[in-house]
Amino acid sequence: MPERLFILNGPNLNMLGRREPHLYGRTTLADIESRCRAVAEELDFDLFFTQSNAEGQLIDWVHQAYEEAAAVIVNPAGLSTRSVALYDALRMLDRPIVEVHLTNVFGREPLYRNLLTAAAAWGFLAGFGAEVYEMGMRGLAGHLSRGGQPCG
């Protein structure tokens, strides 16, 4: 039976491919979704992939993930440094969470370095561009195949 997986994307990620391509590249969110769907099929994930610019909508999807006992990959984007509400919602999940960021947030301006939401995550990936999603999916699949046991 496929494992349910939510991939949630925060504010401005709908502009990927056009917004600051020197930082985020030319890959669009639709390109990322297509690649994630192919990997989901390979790894036997039942995938829900979505994006919103609204904090409340992301929180509603986290609540839905809770109800569906889904693992979550989240790119909270700018909400990662400020959203206590999103952090609280993520903390309630019983399934693993992987937080991803396209850029190396720790090599960027100081305002991007204090990641509140990352403290709720089991895993964290940043700085590999669009590949962070596939890397997150593969890492999550390995984690779940070990019964969700911590690494190391």
pLDDT at 141: 97
Residue 14 lies in a domain: yes
Closest CA to 49 of 59, 63, 36: 36
Domain extent, residue 130, equals: 3-145
Binding-site residue numbers are 75, 88, 102-103
Q: Which amino acid is at 37?
A: R
Over the chain, what is the mean pLDDT? 93
Residue 100 lies in a domain: yes
Least confidently predicted of 50-59, 78-87, 99-108? 99-108
Residue 151 lies in a domain: no
Residue 15 to residue 18: CA distance in whole angstroms:
6
Active site residues: 24, 101
pLDDT at 147: 86
For strand 3-9 and strand 71-75, is the pairing parallel, antiparallel, or unpaired?
parallel
Which CATH number do you get for residue 140? 3.40.50.9100
User: Rounded to two decimals, what is the model's pTM?
Assistant: 0.94
- 59-94 pLDDT, tens digit per residue, is 999 999 999 999 999 999 999 999 999 999 999 999
Closest CA to 6 of 78, 80, 77, 59: 59
Residue 129 lies in a domain: yes
- Residue 107: band (very low, low, confident or very high) from pLDDT cuts 50, 70, 90: confident
- Residue 110: band (very low, low, confident or very high) from pLDDT cuts 50, 70, 90: confident
Query: What is the number of domains present in the chain?
Result: 1
Residue 152 lies in a domain: no
- In the chain, the percentage of residues whose pLDDT exceeds 90 is 80
Residue 41 lies in a domain: yes
Is residue 122 over pLDDT 50? yes
Residue 126 lies in a domain: yes
Binding-site residue numbers for substrate are 75, 88, 102-103
- Residue 33: band (very low, low, confident or very high) from pLDDT cuts 50, 70, 90: very high
Residue 61 lies in a domain: yes
